[in-house]
Amino acid sequence: MKLKVTQENLAKALNYVSRVASSRGTLPVLANVLLSVEENRLRLAATNLDIAISCYVGAQVQKPGSLTVPARLFQDLIASLPSGVIELEQNDMRLKVQTNHYKSVINGVSAEEFPVMPTIENGIRWQIETTALKEGLQQVILAASNDESRPVLTGVLFHTIDGSLYAASTDSYRLAERRLMKTDKTIRLLIPATALHDTLRIIADHNGETEVVCDEQQVLFRAGEVELVARLIDGNYPDYRKLIPQSFETSANLTKADFTNITKVASLFARESAGSVVLSADAASESVWIRAVASQVGENDASATATVVGGGEVTLNSRYLLDALQVMDGKNVQIRFNGKVEPVLLSDPDQEDYLHLIMPLKS
């Protein structure tokens, strides 16, 4: 293998792929990135056996070949080089990296020891606006669980209902759902949240549409020259829609900025009680209050003007409230609940594509 490539393009490609390379795996070669020449382009690929990412880079190819090199070292080296043209030349199991003023040699491992990169031959294929996918993932990933003892809850469910594709996640303490697009396809995928964090990275600078291909075991996201393939989670996702109340005794509409401010202030006093705050709404005074009490520090009571129907109070985790508010796009927020024991629903009164459900704490 012998080729020339620009430092900027190579560094960008390595930033996409090298993060999934893992030195903790049982196979030492998984800590490496695969370099190969395909169709007169340089292909970089890395995998941890659950997630695989590959990226194509335009190159001036003089001789084909393939080799794997340590991902961390190679990425740090390329990032440290000045912008301009880099020459890569393979000599047996060694890779020479050279510019006008720098010359390095990295010991590699045969490409034959690298796992076969997964592909999806026959699957369901669709396109989605990258902006909608990006916003949707940011809004639902936060509610996925980190508890590996319940693997299905560590994923995000993509499924179709009545001609629309939804993404949803829950850790049993909160629930987020986003409607992504209309579709005539029947889709049901349970994708690991860890893979979707990497998906967000590869689509961050991509415009236009992202292509998605899936079968019963894997899903592929393709954004421009970058592809990510992830293994799906096997299991039955809970029927989360049963948790969403159909009617509410109390409803309050207020600006997101006001609600965020009073929640932030109350959360300072809620640290001692694991984030516990009391949310109250009152129609007579047209206000929403958030109260926090810390026996060692003091207490806080803050209110904001709101349009309220009904009234009542509920105890919630302030961190969950702030997480939800941070990913909501609109200027206003609607809060709805039924007493102290049923979940609280947060949504944008001007946009119905997203909802966030938070389970109450015992008061």
pLDDT per position as a tens digit, 37-57: 998 999 999 999 999 999 999
| 211-243: pLDDT as tens digits | 999 999 999 999 999 999 999 999 999 999 999
In the structure encoding, which two tokens stand for residue 157, read together? 């469910």
Q: Which residues of 215-231 are buried (b: 16+ CB within 10 A; e: fewer)?
A: eeebbbbbbbbbbbbbb
Residue type, 229: V
Q: Which residues pair with 312 in a beta bridge?
A: 281
Whether 352 and 307 have beta carbons less than 8 Å apart is answered as no
Contacts of 259 (CB under 8 A, 6+ apart): 288, 304, 325, 333, 335
In the structure encoding, which two tokens stand for residue 118, read together? 């997964």
CATH 3.10.150.10 fits 245-358, yes or no: yes
Taking Cα atoms as reference points, which of 348, 344, 350, 355 lies closest to residue 290? 344
CATH 3.10.150.10 fits 2-113, yes or no: yes
Q: How many CA atoms lie within 13 A of 320 on its CB side?
A: 28
CATH C-level class of 124-242: alpha beta
The pLDDT value given to residue 158: 98
Taking Cα atoms as reference points, which of 142, 99, 136, 141 lies closest to residue 11? 99
Q: Phi-psi category of 15—alpha, beta or left, where left has phi over 0 and alpha has psi -120 to 50?
A: alpha
In the structure encoding, which two tokens stand for residue 360, read together? 């109450």
Q: Sheet with 307-309: list strands edge to edge.
A: 188-192, 155-161, 164-170, 174-182, 351-358, 344-348, 332-337, 250-255, 307-309
- pTM, entire model: 0.92
Q: Which residue intervals of the chain bear CATH 3.10.150.10?
A: 2-113, 124-242, 245-358
> Could you give the dihedral angle defined by the CA atoms of residues 38, 43, 49 and 51, in that order, rounded to the nearest 10 degrees?
-120
Whether 336 and 246 have beta carbons less than 8 Å apart is answered as no
Cα 360 to chain centroid distance, Å, stands at: 25
Three-state secondary structure call for residue 53: strand
Contacts of 224 (CB under 8 A, 6+ apart): 206
In the structure encoding, which two tokens stand for residue 50, read together? 């659950």
Residues of the chain with confidence (pLDDT) below 70: 295, 363
Q: Residue 292: how many CB atoms within 10 A of its CB? A: 25
Whether 128 and 119 have beta carbons less than 8 Å apart is answered as no
Q: What's the alpha-carbon Rg for the chain, to the nearest Å?
A: 25
Taking Cα atoms as reference points, which of 260, 350, 266 lies closest to residue 301? 266
Whether 176 and 170 have beta carbons less than 8 Å apart is answered as yes
Three-state secondary structure call for residue 2: strand
The pLDDT value given to residue 247: 95
The pLDDT value given to residue 363: 64
